[in-house]
Structure 1
Amino acid sequence: MRFATAASPSEQLGIIAHRLRARHLGLDGREPLRWGRMAVVCRSRTEASRLARGLAAHQVPTGVTAGGIVLREHRAVRNLIRLLQHALGLAAFSASDVLDLLAGPIGGLDPVAVRRLRGAVMLLERRDASDAGREARATDDVLLDAFAHPGTEPLVDSRGGRALRRLGRIAAAGRTITAVVAPHARRCGRCGARRNSPTNGRSGR
């Protein structure tokens, strides 16, 4: 992975065009790559269209795919970003977030399956509350608790229940990885700061 800092949009465009051409011709020491095997990821549809026009002017064949839909506009990407934010502790999940995940590409449930899951969870909670002699919790609270604490078995034995448990396990795995990696990343950052400190090492005379 390489990084570049551009002082202006035109300089940025030139850097991108140069790297694409170099990769296409194999000037970086690797096998030449077809134009169609390369892509530029943009933040917005407007930026994608602007870059496409600019690259074409630099003799780089271009085309905006999927009608100009950028990554952040895809539901799967939005869901992955929410899972990552949750794993990093940046944003906790709400019940609506969990339902959105269930009804998205990652959860794989259609609206009918989501409604059936909510209905089954509501009936289960009412039965458990009646047996325990307590007030029944809100369905959304039960769903959120099942997501936050996935057990060894689904909350309800159904396609929706299994999807809920799977998403909960994915989120839990993300939090576990973050808890393991974060301390090492902080230590590496401190070591790098000490190495790059202007007072580190002997001063010249």
Structure 2
Amino acid sequence: MTEITLHLTSGKGPDECCWVVAQLAQAFIREGLRQGVNCDILDAQEELPASLLLSITGEQAEAFASERIGTIQWVGDSPFRPGHRRRNWFVGVTLAPSPETVPDLRDEDIVFQTMRASGPGGQHVNKTDSAVRATHRPTGLVVTAQEQRSQHANRKLAKLKLALMLEERRLQAGDHARQAHWSAHQSLERGNPVRTYTGPLFKLRPSR
């Protein structure tokens, strides 16, 4: 079975874009159910997540993901600022890097520590010592994962989070071409969305 992980990000957008990230994940889950694709939010979904990771599994996972990679536009009134004139909000969807393809991420450089899950986290969080803290010793980067049911799954998620952070650092520190890519990732390509949703129910606008 094919498994793909998408990274949904608000870039540097305001709270409205973070809200769109959360709503877009739910829209993808609904669309996946209709198309025989399973979509699961991997990391804790805050009320206003700047970004989140979405696992896509199923025989049609690759096609489903490819149709959604790029800039996503939502057209609607701000849920936080009544009367605000802006009605077009943009978020980005990219493929999350596979930990195995990130050259700076080696198993021997990661220190895993188990801990007890705590705080809000939905139905998946249990109160056993299944949560994981992962430290990347060469950079000092630290991530935690407690959203999955097992310690093994949380270790895998923590490693994925480290891969994402290291890849972002690499792009930031790379050559001009990589910096241009990073700038595009942060600012988002607002003129050419791959999908457009409208209204509070996130209805997909038919492509022209």
Global fold match (TM > 0.5): no
Instruction: Give the number of the structure with larger relative contact order, counting CA–CA contacts within 8 Å between residues 6 or more apart.
Output: 2
Task: Give the helix-richer structure, 1 or 2.
Answer: 1
Whose radius of gyration is greater, 1 or 2? Answer: 1
Q: TM-score range by the shorter chain?
A: under 0.3
TM-score (norm 1): 0.25
Task: Give the strand-richer structure, 1 or 2.
Answer: 2
TM-score (norm 2): 0.24
